[in-house]
Structure formats: C-alpha cells, structure tokens
C-alpha cells in the first residue's frame, strides 16, 4: 500500500478516515499478532497499542512531521513497538500540554498552577466540555476542531475552510469559543442548581 | 498587550509556532499576569480534552476493522500438544542437520556483516551509552547489549538505537532477536540508517531461514544502493 501524504492529510482534515480504516483492516491483525507473539502482551493490550499507533500515524500526517512512508506495515509496526516499549499511558498523554506549560514557568508559581491543574483535570468538568461542544453549530465545531484537535495554524484553518482571510478565521473562532464557553457555563449553573 | 495580541500568542503556543521572542513574551506574560496564565492553561486543557475524546472515538471505530485473534479452545489445545510433540521430533532432527550446515550461515554473516559504526556520543549521554558504544565497537556485543539495556531505560529509543541493538544481536548470530530490532529501524527517514537496517535485516532473515531472506536480497540487488553488489554476489553464491 502506498500513501499519498498530501491527499491523506486533506482527507483527515475533512473528517474522512477511510484510509485509516483500510490500514487497520490490512495491517491491524499483523501488528496485534506480532505484539502478542514477540512480547508478553495480551491481545487487548496489543489492540490498544495498535489503536494508539494508528492515531499517531494520523497525527504525524496532519502535522506534516513525516515526508514519506515507504512501507506502511513496517512504519506502523515500528510505532507499535515504540509505544509498547515506552509504555505510554493515556493519562500521561492527557497531561502533556499542561506539563508543557508547567515546565515553562518559574518554580514560585507552581502552587498556583497546581490548583489550576487540579480544577482543570476534574472529570465532571471534562464531561461538560465535551457535551457543550456537541451543542455547537457544525460550523463552530469544524473550526474549533481544526484548532484544538488538529492543531492547525489560523492561516491553515482559513485556507481549509475557504475563508476570505486569516482575520475572518480568527473572528469566527473567537465567536465560536465564546459561544462554547457560554454553554459550558450554562451546564455548570444547571449542575449547581 | 491587547486581547487580540494575547490570543495570537495563545494560538501560536497551541499550534507550536512560537518564535524565540514570542516564547520570551509568553513566559513573562505567564509570570506577570495570572489571568493570562489561567487562560493559557484553560485553552491547553480544552485542546487535550477534545483531542483525547476524538482520538478515543476514532480508535474504537478503527479497531472494529481489526479482526480478533481466534480463541484457543480446549480440544484444539490437546490436539495442539500432540501436534507439537510430533513437530518437536521433526524439529530436533532438522536441528541436528542444521548444526551440520550451520557453519555455512556463520560464514555468510562473518563475510557480509558490517557493524554500523556511527553511533555518536553526544554531550550529556550517560556512561551506559558510552560504555555500550565502546563494547560494541570492540565487537563485544553481549557486553554492549547489557549497557544498552540500561541506556534504553533512561532514554527514548530511536532508530539509531534500534539499529545498533539489532546489529549487536546479529553480531551474536541471534537472527530472530535482530529482526525484532531492525523492523522499527526500517521506518527511518535517514537513508543511511535505512540501508544498513535493510541489509542487516536480510542477513538476520538468512540466519533464521534463507528462503525468508531471498526476496529482500533480490530487492537490494535490484536497487542501486551501497549493498547492491554484495546482494548480487549472495544471490549467485547461495541461491542459484
């Protein structure tokens, strides 16, 4: 299987994941078999590892960190093995962004930041964030998805959504963000009542 | 700084696009302005929550495309043991035969195996890494592997690391283990690493089963790479 990375990136950004489904069908069993036979690893763990690996493939293509994938099967298996060896946990991944910010700060701010992090990692609050996101219009969800999930720059978002200029994209994103936070607040008030 | 300028800074931070000066600005803003700090943490967190939710849903959907490995049933297991006993007998016979033939394979490795010689020691690496390289370069592969094991616990393995470990196993004539380490190194974008890993992979496959290596030697012989002539020679000597 040969992947055209530019086409794949466009597909992923438009929410089309047929290619990933095809890769999963073609190489999923191979990777799971390899992991279960070469390591002391259950089938569930191997499947979970493969699932994480395919997300990594999507992310590196979207972020254009890879220029060519000459052998998809070897590439995927390599990622599976690295993920397995590193023993990456989901919780670790979730905390990455916050840790990144923490590392940028001086130590005397750490107490305050710990409070912020504790509040932000509240499971209930995370649920509200997701539920309120689903309440947004499709247009808002698209722009916020490209920004928060795909990590695109504003100029790329403007291009992807055929907007007239970067400023239009910025204004739209800002409006959608405010709307989103209003819904989050509504959810919070409802919970408090 | 205006609200729009602050948001610009956050945008660039989230899309990993800060210049050195902007990074300094961000640091000083984070220290001087608690409200800004709160907003950065908040938006970073939103990004993590949304991405995690999206990834998990996509992952669950994609995993439905991967068939489950067949479960082992008891009957199958008892049959499996009978079959295994029979296969073991055959295997022992083959092993005895292979031991007689083995010198042939060892000669091939001695003749064509080239340890990858460019594992540079960068400033700050631990003594495990340095000792490992020294042992590796002097051909003491078992000692090198012991050091690399400690090194691997401290640092994230990369393709160079996979390649050197694989080469150490190949140096010890442990083809199966070597294949395990060369497999991820084959995904390297670095042409040198890829070529060496591919060549050593072919030699490892030859150690395990010469038929397994045939296709790879053919492919190397067909490419105008550094190992083309050697692959052509092996194909002529061993497969014709």
Q: DSSP for B175-236?
A: HHHHHHHHHHHTT-S-HHHHHHHHHHHHHHHHHH-HHHHHHHHHHHHHS-STTHHHHHHHII
Size of interface A-B (CB pairs under 8 A): 155
| Higher-pLDDT residue of A24, B77 | A24
Distance (Å, rounded) from C-alpha B37 to C-alpha B60? 34
Percent of chain B with pLDDT over 70: 80
By 3-state DSSP, what share of chain B in percent is helix, strand and coil, each rounded to 5?
80, 0, 20
Question: Does residue B121 register a pLDDT over 50?
Answer: no
pLDDT at position B118 is 41
- Write down the pLDDT at residue B124: 42
Dihedral sign computed on CA atoms, order B72, B76, B81, B86: negative
| pLDDT, position A58 | 94
* pLDDT over 90 percentage in chain B: 6
Pairwise CB contact (< 8 Å): B27 & A90: no
Asked if B189 and A43 come within 8 Å (Cβ–Cβ), the reply is: no
The answer to whether B14 contacts chain A (CB < 8 Å) is yes
- Of the listed ranges A9-13, B75-79, B165-169, the least confidently predicted one is B75-79
Mean pLDDT of A19-35: 91
Which of B31, B58, B68 lies nearest to residue A106, judging by beta carbons?
A: B31
Higher pLDDT, A58 or B19: A58
Instruction: Write the ipTM.
Output: 0.79
- Supply B142's token pair: 């078992």
* Predicted local distance difference test score (pLDDT) of residue A108: 46
Q: What is the mean pLDDT of chain A?
A: 83
Out of A102-106, A151-155, B53-57, which region has the weakest mean confidence (pLDDT)? A102-106
Section A181-187 average pLDDT: 91
What integer pLDDT is reported at residue A22 of this predicted model?
Answer: 93
The larger pLDDT score, comparing residue B151 to residue B227, is at B227
Helices A43-62 and A5-13 sit at what angle, rounded to 10 degrees? Answer: 100
Band of residue B160 on the pLDDT scale cut at 50, 70, 90: confident
CB contact under 8 A, A174 and B7: yes
- Average pLDDT (B22-47) is 83
Pick the more confident residue, B17 or A161.
A161
Model confidence over B70-94: pLDDT tens digits? 765 555 556 667 777 778 878 777 7
* Residue B113: pLDDT over 60: yes
């Amino acid at each position: 299987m040969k992947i055209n990375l530019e086409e794949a990136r466009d597909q992923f950004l438009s929410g089309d994941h047929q290619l990933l489904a095809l890769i999963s069908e073609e190489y999923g069993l191979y990777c799971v078999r390899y992991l279960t036979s070469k390591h002391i690893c259950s089938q569930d763990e191997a499947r979970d590892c493969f699932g994480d690996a395919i997300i990594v493939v999507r992310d590196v293509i979207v972020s254009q960190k890879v220029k060519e994938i000459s052998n998809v099967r070897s590439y995927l298996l390599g990622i599976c093995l690295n993920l397995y060896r590193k023993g990456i946990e989901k919780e670790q991944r979730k905390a990455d962004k916050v840790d990144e910010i923490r590392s940028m700060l001086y130590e005397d701010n750490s107490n305050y930041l710990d409070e912020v992090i504790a509040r932000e990692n509240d499971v209930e609050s995370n649920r509200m964030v997701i539920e309120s996101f689903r309440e947004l219009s499709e247009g808002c969800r698209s722009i916020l998805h490209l920004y928060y999930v795909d990590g695109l720059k504003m100029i790329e978002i403007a291009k992807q959504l055929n907007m007239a200029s970067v400023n239009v994209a910025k204004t739209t994103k800002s409006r959608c963000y405010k709307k989103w936070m209003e819904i989050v607040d509504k959810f919070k008030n409802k919970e408090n009542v | 700084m205006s609200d729009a300028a602050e948001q610009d800074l956050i945008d660039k931070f989230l899309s990993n696009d800060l210049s050195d000066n902007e990074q300094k600005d961000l640091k000083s803003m984070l220290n001087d302005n608690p409200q800004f700090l709160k907003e950065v943490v908040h938006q970073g967190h939103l990004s993590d929550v949304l991405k995690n939710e999206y990834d998990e849903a996509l992952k669950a959907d994609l995993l439905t495309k991967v068939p489950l490995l067949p479960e082992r049933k008891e009957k199958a297991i008892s049959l499996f043991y009978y079959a295994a006993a029979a296969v073991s007998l055959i295997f022992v016979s083959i092993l005895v035969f292979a031991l007689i033939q083995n010198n042939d394979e060892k000669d091939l490795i001695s003749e064509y195996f080239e340890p990858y010689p460019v594992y540079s020691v960068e400033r700050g690496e631990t003594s495990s890494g340095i000792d490992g390289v020294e042992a590796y370069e002097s051909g003491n592969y078992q000692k090198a592997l012991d050091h690399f094991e400690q090194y691997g616990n401290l640092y994230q393995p990369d393709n160079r690391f996979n390649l050197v470990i694989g080469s150490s196993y190949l140096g010890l004539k442990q083809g199966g283990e070597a294949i395990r380490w060369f497999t991820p190194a084959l995904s390297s974008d670095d042409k040198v690493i890829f070529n060496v890993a591919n060549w050593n992979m072919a030699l490892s496959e030859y150690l395990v089963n010469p038929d397994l290596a045939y296709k790879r030697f053919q492919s190397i012989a067909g490419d105008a790479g550094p190992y083309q002539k050697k692959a052509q020679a092996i194909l002529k000597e061993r497969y014709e």
